[in-house]
Chain A
């Protein structure tokens, strides 16, 4: 059976956060819970060129939800076996079984596990499995006005867009093997090399 994955085009994303809002709306998420988040990366400084100071800055956005990893560390650490992986790769959480220990939140390097304070339990992106089963795209993909997000069979996505699965500030993919393909922004390598920062932690 094919395994599902996300594609994200960092060179196209405008940072409008329509994906984030559509996800929140579709899933009725509590305040502070974001299954999909848009990180605003920024860096650079003024540069002196022959006595003339010029701005030499860059910025791009990274939209990330759960990457439904091939080696889901959240599933491996969950003490109650509340987190499982379906045959199509979607990592689900049985909310009735979650004890709210938040161990998965410590472990996930993508911040995909989100704690629902009123319900005292963890929640996460379920890839809009109900939409997919109805033949429709996930809410985040459907909402993106720039067509920067896509989904599909992960091997087809890799064949079409390449195997890049990391971009600053995401971790190296070897730990969890995310079902994710990224088209990097032109300044992604520079962000990694120059120590860029995420500028909108307050929003995430």
Chain B
């Protein structure tokens, strides 16, 4: 993988974390009937506010990091000019929409915390933001499904992006929830067991995707057919590392659960941090591999 792709590794992982965290936590929270408790009642910010602000911050950081990948970032405002044809333009458009909706929701809940007591408008806004997040994830997948790049145009791309969103999103939002549960009126919403279950399923799915679907460096183009220029040399050891990391994450979640033992919240948080660190490392290795095996047809 060319060194210039590392901003894309970070951008895609942060974006997928934001989509996963919002979809898995903010949307259920909005429909749980318990999201009405705001700052005034709880003596602190509502969970919904924290989630929306966190997601907006993640997306903003992702957007800034993506600029590092551009040759001329000062022209980045042109990046959504070709929505008619380009999935990359659509991805940027959806990112901006998701970012503004999440930031707008956070600002709304911060300035008028009592408005969270009106579930109708809040739910509508959360659903709109969630849909824009889904569209962002979908367009991100389509960006890489190029007809001329068979190594990306297969089930591995959507599967690995979805696994990253579920795994990082569930662990990231669980960490936020566990950190704020004792400072808000909505502790345990959504439940820690729900987050743990999603993380466990995502880790298992990640293992399956890694073992069965990771494309080995394919020979599609003439350059790859020349042995000395074959891309993705030595990727099997990295697949093994990613497999071990995902197994560790799964074991971490399975053995302890996420906040499953309310009598030992510190221990739960330690496991949670360990699981998140492992998941980030596994996702980083997986994404690095993804770019490393790039090879197009032709020359």
Contacts and interface: CB of A to CB of B under 8 A. Distances in A.
B299 A101 contact: no
A110 B299 CA distance: 5
A164 interface: no
Contacts of A82: 78
Contact of A169 (B71, B149, B222): B222
A7 to B, nearest CB: 19
B79 A80 contact: yes
A76 B299 contact: no
Q: Interface range on chain A: under 10, 10 to 19, 20 to 34, or 35 or more? A: 35 or more
B34 interface: no
A80 B229 contact: no
Interface in A93-107: 97-103, 106-107
Interface string B216-257: 000001110110010000000000000000000000000000
Contact of B75 (A97, A106, A175): A97
Interface string B48-74: 000000000000000000000111110
Contacts of A19: none
A174 B132 CA distance: 34
Interface string A193-204: 001011001001
Q: Interface range on chain B: under 10, 10 to 19, 20 to 34, or 35 or more? A: 35 or more
B86 A107 contact: no
Given A106-B294, A107-B296, A78 B69 contact: no
For the residues of B in contact with A, the DSSP-based class is loop
B32 interface: no
For the residues of A in contact with B, the DSSP-based class is loop
A106 B86 CA distance: 14
A195 B221 CA distance: 11
B81 interface: yes
Contacts of B148: 73, 107-109, 171, 175-176
Interface string B72-105: 1101101111100111110010000000000000
B181 interface: no
Given A80-B78, A80-B81, A101 B297 contact: no
A107 B299 contact: no
B223 A201 contact: yes
Given A78-B86, A79-B80, A111 B149 contact: no
In the complex, which of the residues A76, A120, A170, A172 has the most CB atoms of chain B within 10 Å of its own CB atom? A76
Interface in A163-185: 168-172, 175-176
Contacts of A111: 298-299
Contacts of B297: 109, 171-172, 175
A80 B88 CA distance: 9
Given A99-B78, A169-B222, A169-B299, A77 B71 contact: no
A81 interface: yes
Contacts of B266: none
Contacts of A81: 78, 81-82, 85-86
B87 A77 contact: yes
Nearest to A96: B75
A168 B294 CA distance: 20
Given A64-B299, A106-B296, A171-B297, A76 B78 contact: no
A93 B135 CA distance: 29
Given A37-B299, A175-B297, A198-B226, 10 more contacts: A73-B147, A79-B80, A82-B78, A97-B75, A102-B4, A107-B146, A169-B225, A169-B299, A171-B148, A198-B225
Interface of B: 4, 69-73, 75-76, 78-82, 85-89, 92, 143, 146-149, 221-223, 225-226, 229, 294, 296-299
10 contacts: A64-B299, A79-B89, A81-B85, A97-B75, A98-B71, A98-B75, A99-B78, A106-B146, A106-B294, A198-B299
